[in-house]
Structure 1
Amino acid sequence: MSYRQSDRERLVAKNSRIEWTTHTFNPWWGCVKVSPACKHCYAESWAKRVGKDVWGIGAERRFFGDKHWAEPLRWNTAAAAEGERPRVFCASMADVFEDRRDLDQWRDRLWGLIAATPNLDWLLLTKRPDLVSRLTPWGDDWPSNVWIGTTVEDQDWADERLPELAVLPAAVRFISAEPLLGPVDLGRWAHAIDWVITGGESGPKARPTSPSWFRSLLNQCMAADIPFHFKQWGDWAPGQGINLAKARAAPAEDGTTMLRVGKKVAGRHFDGITWDGLPRSRSA
């Protein structure tokens, strides 16, 4: 069944530490926070750690030169030679659909790069799905190597963003329910979703996720035959079976005792299974 990933489908990440992608490409750095999932943004923290003040409405974005933009061309050539279809997450340090005119020329360059790399599947994840149609050049005829996703951290944001996602004619439509901050019912939009990625929050201010929220999403995916990817527990994991007497404990909203053990110890097994589902393209 497609909600589990076979060994044959797995691609080893070559240029990314993110479990669900092969490569990561950033056309620029910087963004503006728009919803609760942004509160403890890892990208903002990382940018500040390396001395780049690129967050907020008034901040300048960080741009890159030709050498950076040539990397996907090399990935594309290697993919053609190897007979693979690497996934490229674009962008981990920005939102491609942030509505700023100084980004338009860089978006145009990105659309050209996507056209020049037909052996790569480009994963565009946004918290602004309402702006996608206006800021893309493809109308109703999208390239077959473009996947579009949106973040749905709780039901309020699922209700707002999923109707916008559902009408986009991408080869794959997906959601990132990470960090999952509340239960999510996919409801009448399940038919329009090709992939669900979910996980808990990591970082010094991480909020614990209720395990029952993950289980509900998994059950919905199994019922609708949607591939399911459990990325991580994050910094908090269920207390059962973890022998760490000094770990900080906190109750999740569903009553589960969660322990702050760190992302590495918490791992990414759910019910003893590594869920690495991958979608089927609508254009295949």
Structure 2
Amino acid sequence: MAEETGISWCDRTWSPWIGCTKVSPACDGCYAAHLMDTRLGRVEWGPHGERKRTSESYWRQLAKWDREAKAAGRTISVFPSLCDPWDNAADPGIRREWFAVMRETPHLLHLLLSKRPQNAVAMAEAAGGLPANAALGATCENQEIANRNVRYLLDAARDLRPAFSFVSAEPLLGPIDFTRISYGTAGGYDVVRDALKASDIERIDWVITGGETDQGSHKARPTHPAWFRQIRDACAAAGVPYHHKQNGEWLPIGDWYDDHPVSLVLREWHAGTWREVSLDNEEDYVARIGKKAAGRLLDGVEHNGFPEVRHG
């Protein structure tokens, strides 16, 4: 667990404990589970696996990074990549200790990304309240999950007042319209909200997108490029910072076709599923070319948006 990270949207990764349980389709290709359970055997992933607290020397890294950030006159962002902050199976005592250290390291910004935003309020309050230098995030891989997790995220943000609220749509496994988040029905009518244009605290402040990558026996599912573009354009229209982390293992064949032979496996999104196809109209298809070759450009542009941090 090195100090630097290849994750484009944060500066460092650091986790108070290691371990989690898969709870949604986005978890199927979990890199942390593949690394720490399958490859290294550090922890057993799942509801009965231990949430292993990381070492004392490892915990001291936060104070070290805080001193570095203060000396440089900057903020260092930290992402807990090997756990879920609001995991029901985690020891509440470790979370309280973690939050206390957050308060002692004000030059760090902790990016609390979770697939369980419904737990945020109760668990943060039990840990002494959300630190001012913590941002709340939720993973949303398709519209169904977004309809649920965005509601919980924004409700938690209203109560906890984080540094900002954000969504990671990685891996993006289906289209998401953040301007039409379903809040159920009332009076016989569907209730929808534009989560990008809501006022102040009750809106998403930052959106990250990314395609899936291979993790051992789990092979990456494709993302339709139109899904990335729709989120990018909606964020631009609302003035919400947008960050595109990666295309994953797949790329639109139109971005590859001109300079490379098309002896590739192609997939087309049709009737709610991906199917193998022969090359006809290359703009409609994606091809597996590998994470490195696919890169992180979207229509030739690198997107590195980052939100403003609320104070007070």
**Distance (whole Å) between structure 2 residues aligned to residue 57 and residue 139 of structure 1:** 22
- 1:239 corresponds to: 253
1:175-232 C-alpha deviation (Å, 9 max, x unpaired) = 0000001111112222311000001101151000011111110111011100000000
Change (3 A) 1:74 1:26: same
Aligned length: 270
- 1:46 corresponds to: 35
Match of 2:7 among 14, 18, 23: 18
- 1:205 corresponds to: 219
Change (3 A) 1:213 1:231: same
* Greater RCO (CA < 8 Å, at least 6 residues apart): 1
Match of 2:125 among 122, 132, 137: 137
Shift of 1:138: 7.9
Shift of 1:159: 0.7
What pairs with 1:3-14 in structure 2 (closer than 5 Å)? none
Identity across the alignment (%): 38
Shift of 1:116: 0.8
Q: CA RMSD in A?
A: 2.0
Change (3 A) 1:141 1:160: same
- 2:296 corresponds to: 268
Structure 2 length-normalised TM: 0.82
What pairs with 1:92-107 in structure 2 (closer than 5 Å)? 92-100=81-89, 103-107=91-95
**Distance (whole Å) between structure 2 residues aligned to residue 219 and residue 226 of structure 1:** 10
- 1:258 corresponds to: 286
8 A contact 1:79–1:119 mirrored in 2: yes
1:87-143 C-alpha deviation (Å, 9 max, x unpaired) = 111x2111011112x511110111011011000111000011110001113899743
8 A contact 1:125–1:151 mirrored in 2: yes
**Distance (whole Å) between structure 2 residues aligned to residue 271 and residue 135 of structure 1:** 41
Structure 1 length-normalised TM: 0.90
Secondary structure at the aligned position of 1:193 is classed as: coil
8 A contact 1:129–1:164 mirrored in 2: yes
Secondary structure at the aligned position of 2:135 is classed as: strand
Match of 1:196 among 207, 215, 236: 207
- 1:216 corresponds to: 230
